[in-house]
Structure 1
């Protein structure tokens, strides 16, 4: 028996959009964490996460001009993550209504 909240009004496209927004925000959040923990940037995994996060948040780079690098990274990349979550879930919620 499927729970009612999973079967009622569930639009697969909305779930895909919400999941994509979550993954994009997760990648950006992972880069913020790696930056704050001063991860080794010559590591291939760290480089991959940095490149993916920079590509996803390229439009948000340079919006804030803090003196400290950590504050600039948190603000610029954090803004991009919040925007992806907000827009992705807003679109997914609209799709669930139809």
Structure 2
């Protein structure tokens, strides 16, 4: 795995954390778009985790359509975590 991510253990940890954060946010977007059962424990955990991860961007966008609101308000943090995480890991890897 370290070879896939570049070798530096610190960079690998940063990349994995960014990827997991983005994955949780993307999972919540999919669950919301597919009307997943919110009483399910997995769906509930992903929802709470996604809310925590996107706390800084919550209600940044307020379109009338609930599904678009979810895509925008959870998609933006997913992209930000990926971009920043990968940028920082690249910097750490070069150091």
TM norm structure 1? 0.90
Q: CA RMSD in A?
A: 1.3
C-alpha separation in 2, matches of 1:44 and 1:26: 17
C-alpha separation in 1, matches of 2:69 and 2:80: 17
Larger radius of gyration: 1
Q: Which runs of 4+ in 1 moved over 2 A?
A: none
C-alpha separation in 2, matches of 1:48 and 1:10: 32
Q: Which 5+ residue runs of structure 2 have no aligned equivalent? A: none
The equivalent of 2:9 in structure 1 is 12
What is the number of residues matched between the two proteins? 92
Q: Which 5+ residue runs of structure 1 have no aligned equivalent? A: 1-5
Please state how far the C-alpha of 1:10 moved relative to its aligned partner.
2.4
The 3-state SS of whatever aligns with 2:37 is coil
TM norm structure 2? 0.92
